[in-house]
Amino acid sequence: MKQEEARPPLVPVKGIPMIKYFAEIYDEVERFEAHPDDLLISTYPKSGTTWVSEIIDMIYKEGSLEKCKVQPIYMRVPFLEFAVPDVPTGIKLLKEVPRPCLIKTHLPVQMLPKSFLEKNCKVIYVARNAKDVAVSYYYFYQMAKVHPEPGTWEEFLEKFMDGSAKKANNGGDWVLFWGKTAL
């Protein structure tokens, strides 16, 4: 990534702070057409997304490590809203994978493409202790230059708690959604 592109500020999309590059392709994400048999793995960042993705992919591949090793996890379980310069977007990868497929996201439920709900796709929601997530996310923020500068631990923790570090999906979003759909 070029120096001038490093550490861009988060960009609000529908009131939700997003990584600049993710925000730039959100219109395309919103138009994504899920298939009825697609499975969505929905998590807050740093909550076990890759771990769960590997397990579910292995189940889909009938426990065959050889089948799983053919491609890296980001190609086997594309990240729906992923976008960074000079790397294929999650949407591009999803156009190339066979269906049904596994898809991961950090979007809150209200920002998911409507097709996931219309097609009645299955969803696995993963939650992790918020204290563990905050620590892991802080170190990830330091490493991943697509995020703004995290500042000190204390500064980051304040942003994490008030939702301005990144308001991704959280259990409350899904609980409210399921409550409304059950009525």
What does the pLDDT profile of the chain (183 residues) look like in tens digits? Answer: 454 467 999 999 998 899 999 999 999 999 999 999 999 999 989 999 999 999 999 999 999 999 999 999 999 999 999 999 999 999 999 999 998 899 999 998 889 999 999 999 999 999 888 899 999 999 999 999 999 999 999 999 998 888 888 755 555 565 555 555 544
User: Residue 6's pLDDT is what?
Assistant: 79
User: Residue 149's pLDDT is what?
Assistant: 92
Query: Which of 50, 40, 47 lies closest to 136, judged by CA?
Result: 47
Which uninterrupted H or E stretch holds 122?
strand 122-126
Is residue 6 in some structural domain? no
Q: Does 106 qualify as catalytic in the annotation?
A: yes
Is residue 165 in some structural domain? yes
Is residue 1 in some structural domain? no
Is residue 7 in some structural domain? no
The number of distinct structural domains making up the chain is 1
Would you say 31 and 94 are in contact if contact means Cβ atoms under 8 Å apart?
no
**Which domain does 170 fall in, by range?**
12-181
Is residue 30 in some structural domain? yes
Prediction pTM value: 0.87
Strand-strand pairing, 39-43 and 122-126: parallel
User: Residue 165's pLDDT is what?
Assistant: 80
* CATH number of the domain bearing residue 96: 3.40.50.300
Is residue 5 in some structural domain? no
Q: Which of 106, 147, 166, 167 is flagged as catalytic?
A: 106
Is residue 74 in some structural domain? yes
Is residue 4 in some structural domain? no
Structure tokens at 70: 């053919």
User: Residue 49's pLDDT is what?
Assistant: 95
